[in-house]
């Protein structure tokens, strides 16, 4: 299975959020089937946990950037996540 490439200072990722999400979906599907050898399943699980951590970091950075842009634009607005569960 292909793993995300890493480069640059601080382990910056060459992949974007959407690629992380797609890879996570692939990992979950593979683990859900229950057909992977234990070693491969553990490796995929570890990769998935790294992707979750990276994705959370990307979301946090994006949120901070949006809030900064709003402040710079003179529209100090708190960012609240959209809840689409009821739709």
- Residue at 78 is within a domain: no
User: What is this structure's pTM?
Assistant: 0.65
pLDDT band at 76 (very low <50, low <70, confident <90, very high): low
- Residue at 85 is within a domain: no
Mean pLDDT across the stretch 63-87? 74
Q: What values do phi and psi take at 6, rounded to 5?
A: -120, 145
The reported pLDDT for the residue numbered 10 is: 39
For the chain, how many structural domains are there in total?
1
Instruction: Give the separation between CA 50 and CA 53, rounded to whole angstroms.
Output: 5
pLDDT band at 71 (very low <50, low <70, confident <90, very high): confident
Cα dihedral 72→15→8→30 (10° resolution): 130
- Residue at 25 is within a domain: yes
∠ Cα 36 28 53 (to 5°) = 120
- Residue at 33 is within a domain: yes
Residue 51's nearest CA partner among 31, 28, 68 is 28
């Amino acid at each position: 299975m292909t793993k995300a490439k890493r480069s640059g200072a601080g382990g910056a990722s060459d992949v974007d959020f959407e690629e992380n999400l797609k890879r996570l979906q692939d990992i979950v599907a593979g683990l859900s089937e229950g057909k992977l050898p234990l070693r491969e399943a553990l490796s995929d699980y570890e990769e998935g946990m790294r992707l979750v951590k990276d994705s959370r970091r990307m979301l946090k950075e994006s949120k901070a950037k949006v809030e900064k842009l709003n402040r710079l634009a003179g529209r100090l607005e708190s960012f609240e996540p959209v809840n689409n569960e009821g739709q």
